[in-house]
Structure 1
Amino acid sequence: MFTQENIEKVMSKIEILRDVLNLEAKSIEIAASKLKSAEVELMEEVFNKLILSGGDIVFCGVGKSGLIGAKLASTFTSLGLRSFLLHPTEALHGDLGRVRESDVIVFLSKSGTTEEILKILPFLKVKKENRIGLLGAVDSPIGKECAVVFDCSVEKEACINNQAPTTSSTVSLAMGDALAVLFEHIVNLSKEGFAENHPGGFLGKSLRMKVQDLMSHKKDCAVVDSKATLKDVILEMTQRPLGACAVIDNNKFVGLIVEGDIRRCLSTGDGNLQVSVTNILNAKPSTVSRATLAFDALGLMENRERPLNVVPVVEGSEFYGLIRLHDLLKAGLSRKS
C-alpha cells in the first residue's frame, strides 16, 4: 500500500534524477553561450587542412575523459574521418607511432593538468596549430599547448560529493558532438555518404540495399507456362514455396499467380484443378526491378489497402525472380523506422 511517506520518498528520488538532468542541460547551455566565432573559424581551418592532408583526428584523455574520447573517435569515424583514441600512457610505450604530423589531436581534460597528457607533449609530432582542447580549464598547462580551446568548464558535478565526472563529461561529450556536426557541414556529408560507413544500420540498408540483394532468383521460383493448369501451379508452388508462381511463355513474363488467386478459384462453384492458368493469373501485377532499392520495394508492398506479400522482379518482359515482404522485414527494413 502506498502511504504518504512512501509517495514522498518516491517523489524525492524523482527530483534527484530531474536535478541531475537539469544541471547537465544547463551546463551545456552555458558552454554554448561561451563559444566564440574566432574559435569556430580556427576549427574550420583545422578541419579543412586535415581534409587536404588526409590526416586522422586523434582523441587523447584518461579515465572518463578517455571514454568520452573513444565515443567521439567512433563518431568521427562514422562520418568518414579516420579517428582513434590515444591513451597517453600507452603512447609513451609505443603508441605514439600511430600519430603523424598531419594528424589533429584533441585533448580532453577537466583540470587541464592531466599528468599523463603533459608527459607526452614534448614527444608529439603534431604541431601546436593542430592541437585542440576540450578542457575544463582554458588557461591551463594543456590549454597553452593548444591552438584552439573549447571551454568545457562546469560549476559543479552532478555527483553529490562534486567529485565523480558527470556534468563535466557530459559537456565534453556534447562539445565533441558539436564539432562532429561542424565537420559534417564542412564536407557537406549526404545521407548516402553517411550510409557508406553504415551498411548494416537502418539508414545504410535503406539507401544501399537493393532488391537483387534479397530476392529469390528465377531458378528457385515456381514457374509455369500459359498452357499449365491450376494443378500444375499447386505442384510447382509446393516444391518452391515462395507464395507465388510466375507464368512465362518463351522467356516472356505473362503474369503472376499468388496463393490468394488459388483460394479464390477453388472457392467458386466451378473451381477445379484443371482450370487454365490464363483464367486466374494477374496479367498486370505490381513489379520491381533488380536495381530497385529494397526500401522502395517495401513501400510498394506496404503502402496499400491490402499489402502485397510477394512481388515479381521484372525488367522489360524478362522475369528474374521474386521479392517477398518477409525477406525485406527479415533484413531489418521498416517504413516506420
Structure 2
Amino acid sequence: MTNDLPFDAERALHLARQTFQIEADALLGMQRRLTAEFARAVETILRCEHRVVVMGMGKSGHVGRKIAATLASTGTPSFFVHPAEAAHGDLGMVTSGDVCLLISNSGESSELSAIIPALRRLGVTLVALTGRSDSSLAKVCDIVLSCAVDKEACTLDLAPTASTTAQMAMGDALAVALLDARGFREEDFALSHPGGALGRKLLTHVSDLMRTGDGVPRVARDASFSALLQEMSSKGLGLAAIVEGHTPVGIFTDGDLRRLIETGADLRQRVAHEVMHPRPHLIRSGALAVDAADLMERHRITSLLVVDGKGELVGALNTYDLLRAKVI
C-alpha cells in the first residue's frame, strides 16, 4: 500500500455519491423485504420482563453497542455483551427470561456459535440480525430479521459498509417501534438524558432556579420610593415585588425607573403602589423552567415573580437564571 498516488478529487466525490446510493438502495431493499417476523420480534421484546442482551463480533459488535444504547435510552432495558468475553465469564450477565439480539452479517461467527448452546440452556429467546437466512445462526434462532444487502459499498466488496448500515437501521427500527408501543414520551426520554438539553428543559422546574427568602426584593404597597429603590439595589435583581401581605399586587423594574425619570416627574413623594406596574406576570413554582422562558419571551420581559398554590410570593426569576441553567 502506498500513499504517493496522485489524489483524484472527482473520483473521491464519485465514490462518496456511489456509497450513498448503494447504502440507500440497501435500506430500500430491506423495507421491501420486511415481514411479520419484525412485528414478532417487537412483541417478544415488548413482553420481555428482563433485559435485551445484544451481541456481535467485529463491526457487528460496534453496531451492537449502538443498538443497545439506543434501546436503553428509549425505554427498553438493554446492554451489550462481547461474545468472546461471554465465553470466559460474562455469560453470567445473561439471565433466564432475557432476549438476546445476535448480530452477524454472515451468520457464521464462531464466537457466537460457541455460546449459543449455553444461551439455549439459560432459556433465553434468540433473535438474529443477519444477512443470510440460511446461515448457521439463522437456523438456531427463534426469530430471524434479514439485514441482507446486494453488495457492500466498499470498492473491494469486502469491508462491512452497506451491511453495517442495514444492521444499524434494523436496530433503529426496533427501537422506534418499541418506544411507540410503550407509549414512550419526551418526559421519559428526558429522564434517561438528564444532562442533555432536552433533559434540562423537561426536568428543570422554576423552583430549582428561583431566588427565594431574603433574596427576593419586596416592599409593601405604601413603601416610600426611596425604600423601593434601596430594596431593588440591595437585591440586585433589577426589580421589586409590591405586596399586600404575602400576595404580589405589582412589580417595579429598572425599565419602569428609566421611563419615570424620562418624564421628569418628582419621585421623592411617591409611594410604591403609585409607580408599580399592576397585575404582574406570575408563574407557579412547580412550573417547568422552559415555560417561564416562554412566558418571558411572549411578553418581552426579563423577569417573573414566582407564587405558590395559594398565590403567595415565594420567589423571583430572571433570564440570567435561565441562561445559567442552560434552559435557554
Task: Establish whether TM, by shorter chain, passes 0.5.
Answer: yes
- Structure 1 140/187 Cα, relative in aligned 2: closer, same or farther at 3 Å? same
Distance in 1 (CA, whole Å) between partners of 2:170 and 2:197 is: 26
- Give the match for residue 276 of structure 1: 271
Q: Which amino acid aligns with 1:239?
A: S
- Give the match for residue 13 of structure 1: 12
Where structure 1 has 5 or more consecutive residues not aligned to the other structure, the ranges are 1-7
Residue 129 (structure 1) shift = 7.0
Distance in 2 (CA, whole Å) between partners of 1:280 and 1:267 is: 14
Q: In structure 1, the residue corresponding to 2:282 is in which secondary structure?
A: coil
Asked whether the 8 Å contact 1:211–1:290 carries over to 2, the reply is yes
Residue 271 (structure 1) shift = 4.0
Residue 199 (structure 1) shift = 2.8
Listed one character per residue, the Cα deviations across residues 255-311 of structure 1 (whole Å, up to 9, x for unaligned) are 11111011112222124455322221112111111122222221111124xx11001
TM-score by length of 1: 0.88
TM-score by length of 2: 0.90
Distance in 1 (CA, whole Å) between partners of 2:66 and 2:240 is: 50
Q: How much identity, in percent, do the aligned residues show?
A: 35
Q: In structure 2, the residue corresponding to 1:327 is in which secondary structure?
A: helix
Residue 221 (structure 1) shift = 1.6
Mapped pair 1:239 → 2:234: yes
Paired residues in the alignment total 321
Q: Which amino acid aligns with 1:240?
A: K
Which structure 2 residues correspond to residues 201-212 of structure 1 after superposition, within 5 A? 201-212=196-207
Q: Which amino acid aligns with 1:244?
A: L
Q: Which moved more, 1:97-106 or 1:258-267?
A: 258-267
Residue 128 (structure 1) shift = 7.4
- Give the match for residue 250 of structure 2: 255
Asked whether the 8 Å contact 2:153–2:161 carries over to 1, the reply is yes
Q: In structure 2, the residue corresponding to 1:301 is in which secondary structure?
A: helix
Q: Which amino acid aligns with 1:13?
A: A
Q: Which amino acid aligns with 2:260?
A: C
- Give the match for residue 307 of structure 2: 314
**Corresponding residue to 1:114 among 106, 109, 116:** 109
Residue 238 (structure 1) shift = 2.4
Q: In structure 1, the residue corresponding to 2:284 is in which secondary structure?
A: coil
Asked whether the 8 Å contact 1:58–1:104 carries over to 2, the reply is yes
Residue 75 (structure 1) shift = 0.9
Residue 177 (structure 1) shift = 0.6
Where structure 2 has 5 or more consecutive residues not aligned to the other structure, the ranges are 1-6
Distance in 1 (CA, whole Å) between partners of 2:264 and 2:73 is: 61
Asked whether the 8 Å contact 1:99–1:125 carries over to 2, the reply is no
- Give the match for residue 265 of structure 1: 260
Residue 313 (structure 1) shift = 0.6
Residue 77 (structure 1) shift = 0.8
Q: In structure 1, the residue corresponding to 2:15 is in which secondary structure?
A: helix
Listed one character per residue, the Cα deviations across residues 52-104 of structure 1 (whole Å, up to 9, x for unaligned) are xx210010011211111111111111122211001011111111000011000
- Give the match for residue 50 of structure 2: 55
Residue 317 (structure 1) shift = 4.0
- Give the match for residue 96 of structure 2: 101
